[in-house]
Structure 1
Amino acid sequence: MMNLKGLSINPKIWGPILSLVAIIVIMGIIDPGFVRIEFKDGRFYGSLIDVLVRATPTAIIALGMAVVIGTRGIDLSVGSVVAICGAVAAMLITETDLSFASVMVLSLAAGGVIGMLNGIMVSYIGIQPIIATLILMVSGRGIAQLITGGRSVSFDSVAMDIIGSGMFLAIPVRIWIAAGLLLLTILVMRKTAIGLFIESVGANARASRYVGIEARLFKMFAYVFSGICAALAGVILIADVGIAEINRLGLWLELDAILAVVLAGGSLNGGRIYLGLTIIGALIIQTLTTIIFSSGVPVEYNLIVKASIILAVLLVQSPTTQAAIKDLNMKRKGVRT
């Protein structure tokens, strides 16, 4: 950390923000239309607005993933949870006369139950998080297919249309939903003891037990929250297109969510949760995705870029790399003195 005229600047905090700004600036120089925003018919238009809108599901899932990773866990099942809960919502809309509020509650509850099952396997049975959640990652889309009978389910719902493409104060409703969830998560994680307990469990679960913190309970909470976030993202995704296509719904979103947390500076070793920076990480991912798609590059390159970023960030965060950088800085200071 360095101090500039009394202002403390933490590279770990400003790194993701400056990275996002640099990407946007560079793209704006290459294509000025990328940063152009217009206001027509009561709403904003432009590539940057599209980035915000399309990043919403990833950002919501990444919030849950950040909490799980904060406990030194991981949730590979979120993409499948998106598919399952999207299928549940679509079937409830088309096959029942339930109100929209009931559909939402049941869909989110389904995600919470799935998260609870993951939490039980990790916390109480003792299965490694990557294995426990991999089980549902593999089987989840099959479960979603069973729910829909193996077909794509289309529906017509005014309330879902509002979530998918509605506007409030010239801002898409789904952005308001994501902002509300972020605010709620910050309040819970930063204004109550829950956040402190979760981070302490991730830093050292054994020490947490010695001071009376029920580590298993807070790990369970993290996975339940992740499941609810994935369920909400699933509802938003099907609301966007008016159809639940199980084979594609939520595909690879677990990769995007993990990458967003890693880009935010979160360590897979747990102990720290960066909520605001996780949103920045999701925006970086979506900005890169939008740039790749708009440039006409085949979609396969999108996955290669994401995987390369994950590898680069993990290499930078590795203890070996950090030790090498520290040694290099010490040698430079030695030479100067």
Structure 2
Amino acid sequence: MSLLIRGPVLSQADVLINDLGGDAETMLAAHGIDPSAIEDINRYIRYQDAGAVLGHAARELDAPDFGLRLGGKQGLETLGPLGVIMRNSETVGAAVERLCHFLRAMVPSDTAALTQSTGTSAFSYSVLLSNDFDRRQMLERAFGLAMRAYRVLIGPTFVPNRVTFEHQRYAPLATYHEVFGCQVDFRQERNAIHLSPVDLARVIDGRDYSALVLAEDYLKRLVPEPAFADHVREVTRRLLMVGGASLPQVARELSLHERTLERHLRAHGTTFEAILDDLRRAAAWELAATGMQASQIARAIGYSEQSSFSRACRRWFGESPRELLRRRRGQRPEEAPDARHHDP
């Protein structure tokens, strides 16, 4: 299933691509996107194409922080009705809670949550894209935009307590510090902006209650199509990162019976085994460029036996783990697998 998103998710992407020496019109067209659509709230583009543009630009223009830069150039208007709701909520906390509640109506593939405890709060965000590098670019775009939004609602000097990302760092650490102004940690349990409860309690000045009601009524009428297979993929990816991604574990996480989960996936044209295999393949390819040993990679992606990883490696890439490690040495982790890939 192809998920759609409003064109302004790529607002300012053409400007940034051209500023970095690229050809925005050609790059957008390469992914089937009409350049005129990216500033039109009434136009739609495929979500995976939007992510592919960010990944393409990051690679071709040698700008690993492309998504982060893009988010920093966008504003609340990029969010359409969601931006109206945030700007006209009672407090910053109420604005974030409404964003989390209505997000799936506008962006079915993304999820957000606000968790609060004594002395700290965390705004967490997830992006569902099959290409890991594109997903990370889209996630960092969302975080760059979130910082713009917080500084509109709270004030231009706002700085979070901490920012965490699940993925590894690609851009220089100074780039992240420039955007967030605080400690930024990678390979953490969740993607989150950690805030003070005082910031969330801040009253939003100049709010328009009638605009808030109109925007909420509009979003309540939108019923998003659930991206079930993508949701299973995201849950499986998260569990794989912490060492366990079996069918029973994923089914339990989703509160489904295993047979029910398998039946739904078949209806979406895939299987749990295919999803897990694809995630393992992507992780093995990335980790092979980090200097990890084959045995460490095997354990990291859930293989208890080195021989099982060796067979999978030959099926995925047409070579042994040792050959893959030798070939990947010195390459960038996000580089896509080449033609040696063999489909199962």
TM range (shorter): under 0.3
TM-score by length of 2: 0.23
TM-score by length of 1: 0.24
Q: Which has the higher contact order (CA 8 A, sep 6+)?
A: 1
